[in-house]
Structure 1
Amino acid sequence: MDERDWLIFHILYEKRNITKTGQALFISQPALTTRLRQIEDELGAKLIYRSGKGIHFTSQGEYLAKCSKEMLTRIQEIKDRITNMHEGVRGTLRIAATHYMTKYKLPRLLKLFKTLYPQMEFKVNTVWSKEVLNLVNTQEVHIGFMRGEYPWPDEKKLLFEENMCIASTEPISIQDLPNLPRISYRTDESVQLLIDNWWRENFTVPPFISMAVDRLDTCKDMVENGHGYAIMGSGILHKSDDVYKTVILDKNNTPIIRRAWMIYQKDALSINAVKAFVDFSDTIDYLDF
């Protein structure tokens, strides 16, 4: 099996569907089916079988799927090491980041870094903070940008802090919130827990959710157009001059804050590109970036 075969089996295990796997890899369904049969013949084992509910894996197939992820990680590690043997900073930096970081921080950050190191390329995955942890931990990416409080045992750098606040186009009295329309948005578990805990500390009734959207920036747009209030970090509102920002406090009257972090494994610093990026990141003021 070559790298392409390991990738086929890895994606197939994730998708559990021949058609979707072929689409992800730009392989026709007949060609993919043929290659899977060839892999089974080469290994002398039945790896998958089909039913009306999709693809299922035999015990041998389950083992091969586990190996596929390990093999792809190892192959990428070998490529990184070979690239690292060249002089200078070059190669592909693999990054996992939340939607907020990808949209508001990374574009300019990567542009400036590439200006310093023009031979660098980037591969960016936009995921939730919890998935950032997983991708860095399994070495599928070199650097992770996440927000919120999650345990991470290796290298971790604080990028910025922001106050959690009530955003609205009109002045709001906190005790009136249960009767006012609120706009909710999908967010990381840690942030949702932070907001929910604050609400339970202050109110005995649930909020009046008038609108639910998928992204924080969409929620901000709705707030700016007067459709209701929202509870969000102040960072996304720094250019929203027409929005009132009321900082929320915990029971000790201390502002509730949300932190953004950069995480990586210490061993990854042996890769020139990772070391250069971490050093470069130390020169950036992320809050005003």
Structure 2
Amino acid sequence: MNLHALKIFHTISEKGGVTRAAEELRISQPAVTAQVRNLEKELGIQLLAPKGRGILVTDAGQMLASHAKRLFALERELDEAVREYKAGFSGILRIVATYLPANLLLPEWLALYKQEHPSVEVVLNTANSREAVEGLLQYDAEVAVYGGGWEEQPGIEWEELLEDELWFIVPRNHPYGGQEITLAEMMKVPFILREEGSSTRERLFSLCRALNVSPPKVGLQFNGVNEMVRAVIAGYGAIFISSLAVRDNVERGEVERVMVNGTSLLNPIAVCTEKAWVMLFSAVALRVECVD
């Protein structure tokens, strides 16, 4: 069926005549009439009949007009759904985030986002840095919230949201606690590290290579930041970690920070995705900061 012709007939039925339909559609009356004649020929039924100086919608025409009304109402709903989806007001938002933002930042940001976009279903998956990048590039997620350095990727926008320091942390009452030492001395302590693919782990090893220092001995390996912190609180090893994840523990005296010469490093937290989502997350993060 010619949907363009059907829409013209639907407009005639809604407006009550060819002249009004032509004005609504901004086409000529002969063009309107010709489209309806072609539709009648295609369907094999008469849709309009003359009535005095006007026209009459036949019984067959009324039946078709009833179905067309539902069809074009659905079309308007689809148009609106697409507009809302493109504007970020509906649909599913899949986010992959590294451990730090997933646990310490995104819960508050997403709570604010859901208040403003209740129709959007949000799915958050936690991954290490390598997996987060792969999830975005493989279209398993629309947004990656990423802690650590970022290499440029074609078609992917990157916008930094905040920067955080990376700290060396040891148990309370450790000989290095609160002291200033060299990286070589720090590497004598057994380390608790994240799994391979973690940006913080890779930055620690890169730092050792850059300063020509032997890498740390891996005493324990965990997939999560909280597990690492709890192990140090329990009295074992050292960690290299974002200050956001451990600042409260340091302030409570549960663990101690070690100042290591020549290792003042920053950990950027960024959102990586298509441009529209970058702008949205930046706005949400800014509002959270204003509330705080």
Superposition TM-score, scaled by structure 1 size: 0.59
- The SS at the match of 1:283 is helix
Give the 3-state SS of the residue equivalent to 2:235 in structure 1. coil
Aligned to 1:245: 257
Q: 1:179 to 1:285 in 2, by over 3 A?
A: same
Query: How far apart are 1:244 and its partner, in Å?
Result: 1.7
Give 2:83's match in structure 1, choosing from 73, 82, 85.
85
Please report how far the alpha carbon of residue 123 of structure 1 lies from its aligned counterpart in structure 2 after TM superposition: 1.6
Q: 1:158 corresponds to which residue?
A: 160
Percentage of identical aligned residues: 18
Q: Is the 8 A contact 2:95 2:124 kept in 1?
A: yes
The question of whether the paired residues in 2 share the 8 Å contact of 1:178 and 1:208 is answered with yes
Distance 1:129 1:81 in 2: 37
Q: Secondary structure at the match of 1:183?
A: strand
CA pair 82-182 structure 1, distance change in 2 beyond 3 A: same
Within a 5 Å distance, the mapping from 1:46-57 to structure 2 comes to none
Structure-2 residue corresponding to 1:213: 222
Query: Matches of residues 29-178 of structure 1 in structure 2 within 5 Å?
Result: 83-86=81-84, 89-153=89-153, 154-168=156-170, 169=172, 170-172=174-176, 173-174=181-182, 176-178=185-187
Query: Does structure 2 conserve the Cα–Cα contact (< 8 Å) formed by 1:163 and 1:247?
Result: no
Query: 1:164, 1:234 within 8 Å by CA — same for their partners in 2?
Result: yes
CA distance in 2, matches of 1:246, 1:274: 35
Q: Which of residues 201, 204, 210 is equivalent to 1:195?
A: 204
TM-score by length of 2: 0.58
Q: Which structure: larger Rg?
A: 2
Contact kept in structure 2, 1:146 and 1:260, CA below 8 Å: yes
Quick one: distance in 1 between partners of 2:222 and 2:138?
31
1:198/1:278 CA distance change after superposition, 3 Å: closer
Q: Which residue of structure 2 lines up, in the alignment, with residue 260 of structure 1?
A: 269
**Cα–Cα, structure 1 residues 211 and 134, in superposed 2: closer, same or farther, change >3 Å?**
closer
Match of 1:4 in 2: none
CA distance in 1, matches of 2:148, 2:212: 24
The 1-side partners of 2:117 and 2:125 are apart by 21
User: Tell me, which stretches of 5 or more residues in structure 2 are unaligned?
Assistant: 1-77
Matched residue pairs, number?
201
1:37-77 CA-partner distances (Å, limit 9, x unpaired)? xxxxxxxxxxxxxxxxxxxxxxxxxxxxxxxxxxxxxxxxx
Query: What is aligned with 1:49?
Result: none
Alignment-derived partner of residue 241 in structure 2: 232
C-alpha distance in 2 between matches for 1:263 and 1:229: 31
Q: Deviations over 1:162-211 (max 9, x none)?
A: 22221012351445434433322325354323201323455654534333
Question: Match for 2:191 among 182, 196, 199?
Answer: 182
Q: Quick check: 1:95–1:141 contact (8 Å CA) kept in 2?
A: yes
Change beyond 3 A, Cα 1:86–1:283: closer
- Closer, same or farther: CA 236–82 of 1 in aligned 2, 3 Å: same
Whether the 8 Å contact between 1:164 and 1:248 is mirrored in structure 2 is: no
Long gaps (5+) in structure 1: 1-79
Q: Equivalent residue of 2:118, what SS?
A: coil
Give the superposed CA RMSD.
3.2
What is residue 45 of structure 2 aligned with on the other side?
none
